[in-house]
Amino acid sequence: MTTSSPFLAHGIAGHLVSTKENGNSTPIYSALDGTVVASTSTEGLDLSAAYTYAREVGNPNLRKMTFQERGRMLKRLALHLHARKERFYEVSWSTGATRTDAWIDIEGGIGNLFSYASLRRKLPNTPFALDGESLGLSKGGTFSGHHILTPREGVAVHINAFNFPVWGMLEKAAVNWLAGMPCIVKPATATSHLTEAVCREIWASGILPDGALQWVCGSARDILDHVDERDVVTFTGSAATGRKLRQAPRIQALSVPFNLEADSLNAAVLGATVEPGDPEFELFIKEVRKEMTVKCGQKCTAVRRILVPRHLMDATQEALIASLERTAIGDPRKEGVRMGALVSKDQVEEVRNQAAKIGRDADLVYHPEGQFLSDAPEAGAFLTPMVFRTDRPMDAAACHEVEAFGPVSTLMAYDGVEEAAVLAKMGRGSLCCSITTHSPKEAQDFVYNAASMHGRMLVLDRDCAKESTGHGSPLPLLVHGGPGRAGGGEEMGGIRGVKHYMQRTALQGSPTMLSAITQQYQPGGAQIESEPHVFRKHFEELEIGDTVTTHKHTVTEADIVNFANVSGDNFYAHVDATSLDGTIFERRVAHGYFVLSKAAGLFVDPKKGPVLLNYGIEEARFTKPVYPGATIGVRLTVKEKIAQEKRDADDIAKGIVKFLVDVYDETGETVALATILTMVKMKNQAD
């Protein structure tokens, strides 16, 4: 068995702190044969030094970087770890994981880094971000508001569960790093040797700035004694521990954000419109088997409750058991093994105890004698799947309350989709819930009735099955978390997750002042007439607020007729003056697209120059009808600039410039507003 080191090291304040001399160390056992693979101890460890280092070194290093820089850093780190992934697979065997389980953990974790690296494209090239739209707060237009997001000034403390030692860390760290916060990771002791191996590699890479990552392997029961109002704590684990830690005195007294992801009793529903023989029946059985056997059912999202139309209970039970029978269990390094071991013998005991509670009001219909493919079948933490069944789930409280964190699930009969939703909600809040059906009506009824108590829902059918990521997979761009028992927290979810590590501040002031602070032009802010035309300026030369005020054009009936002919848009309001009774139009009205097209004709400087292309329009609005005789002009203003990275050395150095297009008429009132997106060359092609 390979481990990174028999005595684990903590990564604190820039140093590897060996646990060797600490005495009282906790052994970490191999899930496959019970041998000691590493030891660790947190006795005497100075955790306050880790907090100080994160706040004084890691945080300033990260917060001054822009989102683009942080995103590129994540990408480099993802590539670095990916190239060394086999080392982590080697360590992972001892946790009982199969290659597939470890793939979810290791490559799934690295995938999270890639996803958050790519998210930089949706964020500005500044250390801060804006949230929502600018808001006018006064009649005269001199007072406005906008929300600004700045990285919190402390450290993100991640206390993780044992089941995903790599993914559990990276799904969170990717997000706090992109947001500009450092982290201290505390993996669960039982699998901390794998987390440690990855953390050491991250440090060795030198890709992250100093202080961005620290870790502590082992119990660290005093870890929350040092948090303060600048920090964020995230916890993943059992609901009981989570509830206790949320009450920690400093969390309470200093209002430290605490995100709780706890165990939940996730349900998978077989639609009542499905019959044996339908593709959905087979898909359902496959999905439930997968959820019970992948990671030996040690997944927070695993299916614990299998809701089946009453008339299909026997058929489902039979098919599920037949499918589970075909799953070879044992040492995952052996040929043919599909299900590995639980994390430890203690955990096997814990699962048996919890299953016994479920057995008080459900029948155990499957739990075969173990035939484990292993050289140490007795010493390994192997357990065969357990399927319970109840035909009266409304009265079976334990099935909706007790989590056995292993290959344990209960078949439950339901009558009608509404009852299925009621039963799904009896878990009192879960991370995910799925329904397998090809009937849109059934799916719609179920989702409307059940969604409020679930963080994520999957509708599985023949159309999406091939590419579906499955019931149990949280995804970086979708929220992971759930109400009630699941902890009431939320993480990932793309940019939503990034915001958890940033403070949202409502900023008020004059539009000119807010434009300067936010680096985004705010409506009503000062517009500085640009000389030369903005299309003649390179990316670096453009300033937020630079404006071109164009010459004007008086709209004619001929314009409208010509535009109708060119576009083929003969909507009655543009072409038939006799049809306007009962409409809001007084006369035939110019096409909104004509107004915007004409605006382009007015604001474009046509000669070849730094503007490479126009690649889109955002937020276009036609705010006032334009009739023949109206005279329109345009103010084109630099709204926002985002520098782009070069794809390769030969690429043109360029950035995106967003221009606000304000089209107004002879009364000065705005008739159309839009934001156009252009790509503009940089003067310095070395950038």
Among 38, 106, 119, 161, binds ligand NAP (CB under 6 A): 161
Query: Site map for ligand NAP, 440-469, x if CB under 6 A?
Result: ------------------------------
105 binds ligand NAP (CB under 6 A): no
CB-hemisphere CA count at 13 Å for 203?
19
Q: Do residues 670 and 662 lie in contact, with contact meaning Cβ atoms separated by under 8 Å?
A: yes
Among 19, 134, 160, 644, binds ligand NAP (CB under 6 A): 160
Question: Of 241 and 473, which CB lies nearer to ligand NAP in the complex structure?
Answer: 241
Q: Which of 605, 602, 613 is nearest to 559 (CA)?
A: 602
431 binds ligand NAP (CB under 6 A): yes
Query: Site map for ligand NAP, 484-523, x if CB under 6 A?
Result: ----------------------------------------
Q: What is the dihedral of CA 334, 338, 344, 349, to 10 degrees?
A: -130
Out of 183, 199, 296, 300, pick the active-site residue: 300
Query: Site map for ligand NAP, 287-306, x if CB under 6 A?
Result: -------------x------
- Read off the DSSP letter of residue 329: B
The nearest distance, CB 53 to ligand NAP, in angstroms, is: 20
189 binds ligand NAP (CB under 6 A): yes
The nearest distance, CB 291 to ligand NAP, in angstroms, is: 13
- Calculate the alpha carbon distances from 286 to 226, 236, 268, 292, 338 in Å: 46, 27, 12, 10, 14
354 binds ligand NAP (CB under 6 A): no
321 membership: H or E segment, kind and range: helix 313-325
Among 183, 223, 396, 458, binds ligand NAP (CB under 6 A): 223
Interface positions, 203-222, toward ligand NAP (CB under 6 A):
219, 221
405 binds ligand NAP (CB under 6 A): yes
Q: Which residues make Cβ contacts (< 8 Å) with residue 677, sequence separation at least 6? A: 614, 615, 616, 617, 618, 656, 657, 658
Among 238, 273, 597, 670, binds ligand NAP (CB under 6 A): 238
Tokens of 53: 């280092």
- Residue-wise over 42-54: b if at least 16 C-beta within 10 A, else e? beebebebbbebb
CB-hemisphere CA count at 13 Å for 370?
21
Query: Site map for ligand NAP, 250-269, x if CB under 6 A?
Result: -----------xxx------
Q: Do residues 182 and 176 lie in contact, with contact meaning Cβ atoms separated by under 8 Å?
A: yes
Question: Of 170 and 337, which CB lies nearer to ligand NAP in the complex structure?
Answer: 170
- Calculate the alpha carbon distances from 26 to 274, 379, 660 in Å: 51, 19, 62
Residue count (the chain): 687
Out of 171, 261, 280, 442, pick the active-site residue: 261
- Read off the DSSP letter of residue 295: G
The nearest distance, CB 35 to ligand NAP, in angstroms, is: 19
Stretch that binds ligand NAP, among 128-136, 156-164, 303-311, 503-511 (CB under 6 A): 156-164
The nearest distance, CB 423 to ligand NAP, in angstroms, is: 20
Question: Is 261 annotated in the active site?
Answer: yes
- Read off the DSSP letter of residue 602: H
Q: Which of 499, 481, 502, 477 is nearest to 491 (CA)?
A: 481
Question: Of 477 and 575, which CB lies nearer to ligand NAP in the complex structure?
Answer: 477
Question: Is 645 annotated in the active site?
Answer: no
Q: How are beta strands 303-309 and 266-270 bridged, if at all?
A: parallel
Catalytic residues: 261, 300
Residues that bind ligand NAP (CB under 6 A): 159-163, 186, 188-190, 219, 221, 223, 236-238, 241, 245, 261-263, 300, 403, 405, 431
